[in-house]
Amino acid sequence: MNTNKRENIALITGASNGIGLELTRKLLLEGWQVVALNRSDFPADDMRIQKAINSGWIRIYKIADLADYASLRRTLEEIKGKEQRIDTLFNNAGGSFNELSYSKQGREKHYELMTIVPYIILMELKELLKNSSLKTVVNTSSAALNYVKEFNIEILERPKTFRKLLGPYATSKLALSLWTQAISSQLAKEGIKIRSVDPGSNNTIRKGKNSGLPIVVKWLMKLFFSPPTHGANQLYEAALGEHRNETGVFLLKGKTAKLKFIDQSRNVLERIHEIYEHEFSY
């Protein structure tokens, strides 16, 4: 493994807030460059961040909606045209919505944003990963997947019911970890390692933003959850810690954990690859 971190470049989705912002700060301190795929701006009052932006140590690619394929296609083409390589891809962007909603492509939005889009980003930027030394992908998942009681493609794409956090959010995170496991052997042939990780319980509530979380969870967040630095450390360790040579695993509290509905992993991968081929990369 290349231990000279000054040579390393990370691409982080959702790098300007919460866990993504703290991961950006941590990587900068470790001497990494950060390619940020963001919907919002970095904090204007963070002088270290602003200095990194001005020096080119952080390179920002703005996008209004990651789940809008036309915008995503343009932004990824821009990244491929300007960046030489990516050592580690952190598919971190996500969110929990407060009601059932759908993407421009007509699929449930949690599923689009947190299951399909990370796959698209991986496929589109795979050559940049292959140009690097670490060749690592870390997908941000969630322990909420352990609460999923029913799982199939139809539920993912068009749920009949909605439940905050433990509904489409949890099933989408499970689907993310399932395709991560399913694709690992294929990526290994190209030297790429991929893992999914639960970042733990972090207080990521932002003022003025409707989080889509149950009220009891919001109160628990404020009172008991860790700051986003905890989640950033979990993602960092997932990329570079003791499991750095493993692929396809789901990491929970720093240890590998079993996934539910593992028999569905190939079905999920085949479906999202079909979407990618017919709707995005045509």
For 213-256, write each residue's pLDDT tens digit: 555 555 455 545 567 889 999 999 999 999 999 999 999 999 99
- Which range marks the domain in which residue 180 is found? 5-202+228-280
pLDDT of 225 reads 53
Residue 213's CB is within 10 A of a number of other CB atoms, namely 18
Q: What is the C-alpha to C-alpha distance for residues 224 and 149, in angstroms, rounded to an integer? A: 27
Q: β-strands 255-257, 250-252: how paired?
A: antiparallel
pLDDT of 213 reads 53
Question: Per the domain annotation, does 219 fall within a domain?
Answer: no
* Contact predicate 179/265, CB 8 Å: yes
| Cα 33 to Cα 66, 95, 132, 238, distances in angstroms | 22, 25, 13, 18
Question: Per the domain annotation, does 148 fall within a domain?
Answer: yes
What's the pTM value of the predicted model, to 2 decimals?
0.91
Question: Per the domain annotation, does 216 fall within a domain?
Answer: no
* Contact predicate 232/27, CB 8 Å: no
Domain count, the chain: 1
Question: Per the domain annotation, does 212 fall within a domain?
Answer: no
Half-sphere CA count of 247, side-chain side, radius 13 A: 17
- CATH number of the domain bearing residue 255: 3.40.50.720
